[in-house]
Every structure is written in structure tokens, then in C-alpha cells.
Amino acid sequence: MRLARTIAFWLLAAGLLACHVIVIQHSLTARFWEDEAFNLTVPLNLLAGLGYSSDGALSGSTITPFDPRISTGPTVLLPVAAVLALGVDPVLGARMVPLAFWALLLAGLALLGIRTVGRWGALVAAAVPLAFNGFGSISPIQGPADLLGEIPAAALLVWALIALPRRAWLAGLLVGLAVQAKLIVLLALPAFAVALWVLAPGRGWQRILQTLKRAWLPLILVGVPTLLMEVGALVSLGPSGFVEHLRGMVRFVRGGGQHFAPTTVTQKLETLAGAWFVPMWAAVATAALCVALAVAGLVLSRASRAAAADADRKRPDDRAAEGGRLSDSWRSVLMLASAAGVGALAFVGWWSTAAHTPLWVRHPASGVLAFFPIIVIVALWGARVLFERAGAARVIAVVAIVLLSASLAWSIARHVLQTAQPRSETLATQRADVAPIREWVDQTGAPWLAAHPWGAAVGPIVMSGAHVGLSDADAMAGVPRLTGLQCDTEVLVEGGRYRVCAAPIP
């Protein structure tokens, strides 16, 4: 039986690896879409000697240092600049950085899984991110290679939880880096505060004091990356520019940078429930099953722990030490459960009640990708606790694991099948369409092209080597326009589905 389980494990691990490779390959060759392109302007401008600046397409269409509309931060974009400095292709080189963070995310989840449940926990934990479908909106996560900050932030949060028990200072620094990958990760701070409290020794006020004692250094280090970023902004912009930069950031955070009809909690929760590669009812049922298993395991284990503590007092010292190690193991699981539960509630709670934000699962995605797989890990641990008990509890554990495995396998299969669907546009077709436009830009030396409108035209402009602005910006008066629509003026150059139109005469 042990040999059969080992063979089954490695066959499933090889299958999972193949699924990840398929998804990664699809993501690398997917359409280079507008948010990725806008993010890429920062490392391109940095390498061009323009500082940490975007093209400002959403901020007046002028070079904009420390643009608050670039929500993907330097934790992602500075490594991209380092990769591009090697002379690699800008799109593929940029996409390799979030892909590296995807690998870190999977490795971190697998490590938590193997520590908590064993190798099967590692396998399931590394599979859960494939069940999430971030593609279903006009602001998607197409895949793990998208030049966005959500996946890097999630990876850093997971590794912060790994570091927290023994190196709280490192956990704080990792959370700070996650914040500078995606600012919304500030919502994870309550999860780490609760985790520190769970890990602290003592009871009552003694425990609170121990938590505060352990928290001050990590809290300082959480702020260090942001402090360095803002000091850089102050030096670059000067006092008056820095004040305006802060005002712009506050406006962006408060307004979300979007203008959509208000949304409701029900709409948000329905959107989240639909953001998986299973039917909505199956996603809700799987979530409820995981929560139930986690709670049941913690409750039953707590009772067993209390009984073991009483027995330890009557045992020899070596048996008491073994009981202490079991207690430490239970505390570690409780820390993961508490952090994941609070973190998931913080992200989902904020997003569902933020009526000004649209129905895009990208907004809570960092919390979903970091904390939901950990809930599944704790659920597997809970199922093991049930299985160790005789009678109905063992049957419930087996049925629960079968249902959870079926839901996960169904999700991964549908995700892989989605990659085989024909795509109207890919990176390869974009390159072919942009080639004549890029040649025209090189020949004419056109420094800017105006996207008309914001959307599919943005990526081709960045790929052409020109700066990107918006056609309705004052700064773009007299600037040729790139569009996928028909030109109202002279066509300057055409490439496939895109064309460059002469600027309209005022």
C-alpha cells in the first residue's frame, strides 16, 4: 500500500506540473493587454533615463514620476527593469518576473502544506491557485505571467507567514515588500497581527504585552519599503510636487481610479463565487466544506490537546516534552487558520462593501491567492484529525476529501481546457500587426502615439517603441492616433487590425 501511494503521489505530482506548464505557456503567449503595457512604461522609462516614471496615459499623457495610477509597485517593476537591462525582449522579459513570483507562491504553499499535512498537503496546496479564474472581467488576470502586482503580493504574503514564527522581522519586511507590489495588501496587516498574538506565549495581559514586544520591529520593517519609495519621490519631485503626489495617491485610493455604477455586496459575492473553474454552487459548497473541516479539526484537536496537557503532568519528562511538541504543532496550525481566516475576511469584506469598486476579482485577488489555499491546507489537517477518530468521523473525513479532490480536479481540468480555446488575439498576432507600425515609428522618430480609445490600442503603442497617451488629453493635440477603429483622417501606416491616423485638424 505504501508503494502504491508513493506511485500515485508522483503520478499526480507530474500531472499537476504538466498542468502548470500548460497554463504558464498560455500566459506567456497571451495578448499583451493595456494594464500590463501601462506598467511596462515605468521600467522602460527608467532605463531611458527618465526616472521612476510612467507615460502618464491616465494622468494627462505626459511623463509622470511616481504616477499614483500605477498600482503595481517597485517590488515588481524594479526587477523588470533589471531583466530588461540585459537586452531581452521587453514583453517576455517583463513577464518572467511575475512568473518567478508565481513559482515562489507555489513553493511557499507547498512548504506550508508539507509542514502541516505532509506531501499530499503540498500537492493540494500547489494545485489550489489553478482553481482561481481571474479572467472573467474587462480588467483580468489572464495568467501567472501577467505584468501585474497581485500574484507577487500574494507570494510575499505566503512567505511572510512561513517566516513569522521564527523570524518575525523578516515577515514584516516581506509584508512591506508585498505592499510595494500592490498597495491593497495593507489589508493583510490584521491577519499578521492576529498570527503574532496566537504565537505569543502566556495568557491575558501577559500575552498582549508579549505580542506588542514581538510586533514593534516587524511593524517598522513593514513600513521601510514604502518609506524608501516616498523618500525617493520627495527627492525627485521636491516638496510641492511631493505634496501633489500624495494628494493624487489619496484620490486614487479613495476613488479606485474608476467611474462605474455603485455595486452591492450581493453582486460582489456572486462575482467572487463565480471566479472559479467550477459552477458557482460547487464553489460555494467547496468553500463551506473547507471552513467546516478546518473548524471541526481545530475544535476536536483543542479538546484532545487539553486532555493531553492533563496527562502530561502525570508523565515522565520525556513524554511531557513530546506533548509540548504536539502543542507547538497545534499552535502553528491555529496561527495559519487565524491568519488565513482574518486575511480572507479582510480582503473579501473590504471589496464586497466598497461600492465604488467595480466587479473585478483582481481587487481582492492577492488575498484570495494567498489565504484561500491556506484555508484548504487547514481543512486537510482537519480532515486528518477526523480520520484519526473511529466511526462516523472517519467516514465524514473520507467523503469530505473525495468531494474536495473532485472539485479541485474539475477546476484544474477546466482551466487547462480553457487554454485550448481559440483566441482572437495573441502576443504573436500583436507582434505581426505592430511590426509595420514599429518600423514607421523608427523611421519617423515619432516620440508619442495617442491611444484611441484606452484599451486594446495601448499595448501596440508600447510595443511600437513610442510613448503612450490618450487621444482626449490636451498634451496629445497634434499627435498621431493608433486605433483599431477606422480613421477619420489620413492613414499614416497600417498593420493588421491596427492603424495610425493623422491627428485631427483643430
C-alpha cell at 352: 464586497
Split at pLDDT 50, 70, 90, the class of 480 is: very high
Q: The cell 506598467 sits on which residue? A: 39
Residue 324 has pLDDT above 70, yes or no: no
Q: What is the mean pLDDT of residues 231-253?
A: 90
The residue among 419, 441, 476 that closes a domain is: 419
Q: Return the pLDDT at 325.
A: 47
Residue 315 has pLDDT above 60, yes or no: no
Distance CA 447, CA 339 (A): 49
Establish if 229 belongs to a structural domain.
yes
The residue among 373, 394, 419 that closes a domain is: 419
State whether 439 and 299 are in the same domain. Answer: no
State whether 355 and 469 are in the same domain. Answer: no
State whether 117 and 205 are in the same domain. Answer: yes
Q: Return the pLDDT at 243.
A: 92
Q: Return the pLDDT at 257.
A: 64
Q: Return the pLDDT at 282.
A: 95
Counting beta carbons within 10 angstroms of the beta carbon of residue 15, is it exposed (0 to 12), middle (13 to 18) or buried (19 or more)? middle
Phi/psi class of residue 202: alpha, beta or left (left: φ > 0; alpha: ψ in -120 to 50)? left
Nearest to 340 by CA among 112, 62, 495, 31: 112
Establish if 63 belongs to a structural domain.
no
State whether 167 and 270 are in the same domain. Answer: yes
Q: Return the pLDDT at 321.
A: 47
Q: Return the pLDDT at 208.
A: 82
Residue 380 has pLDDT above 50, yes or no: yes
| Under 8 Å between Cβ of 335 and 360 | no
Q: Return the pLDDT at 85.
A: 96
- Distance between first and last Cα of the chain: 80
Instruction: List the alpha helices (DSSP H) in 117-187.
Output: 119-127, 150-163, 168-179
Establish if 189 belongs to a structural domain.
yes
Establish if 58 belongs to a structural domain.
no
State whether 477 and 343 are in the same domain. Answer: no
Establish if 42 belongs to a structural domain.
no
Establish if 203 belongs to a structural domain.
yes
State whether 467 and 397 are in the same domain. Answer: no
Q: Return the pLDDT at 393.
A: 86
State whether 149 and 257 are in the same domain. Answer: yes
Q: Return the pLDDT at 258.
A: 66
Counting beta carbons within 10 angstroms of the beta carbon of residue 134, is it exposed (0 to 12), middle (13 to 18) or buried (19 or more)? buried
Split at pLDDT 50, 70, 90, the class of 214 is: confident
Query: Taking the model in full, what pTM does it have?
Result: 0.94
Backbone angles phi, psi at 64, to 5 degrees: -125, 105
The structural domain count of the chain equals: 2
Q: Return the pLDDT at 143.
A: 94
Residue 309 has pLDDT above 70, yes or no: no
State whether 433 and 411 are in the same domain. Answer: no
The percentage of the chain sitting over the pLDDT mark of 70, rounded to a whole number, equals 94
State whether 235 and 365 are in the same domain. Answer: yes
The residue among 396, 419, 442 that closes a domain is: 419
327 against 49, higher pLDDT: 49
Residue 162 has pLDDT above 70, yes or no: yes
Establish if 349 belongs to a structural domain.
yes
Mean of all residue pLDDT scores within the chain: 91
Split at pLDDT 50, 70, 90, the class of 326 is: very low
State whether 175 and 214 are in the same domain. Answer: yes
State whether 101 and 193 are in the same domain. Answer: yes
State whether 163 and 14 are in the same domain. Answer: yes
Domain that holds residue 493: 427-501
Nearest to 82 by CA among 33, 34, 42: 42
Q: Which of 124-138, 179-193, 202-216 has the lowest mean pLDDT?
A: 202-216
Establish if 48 belongs to a structural domain.
no
Q: What is the three-class DSSP state of 452? A: coil
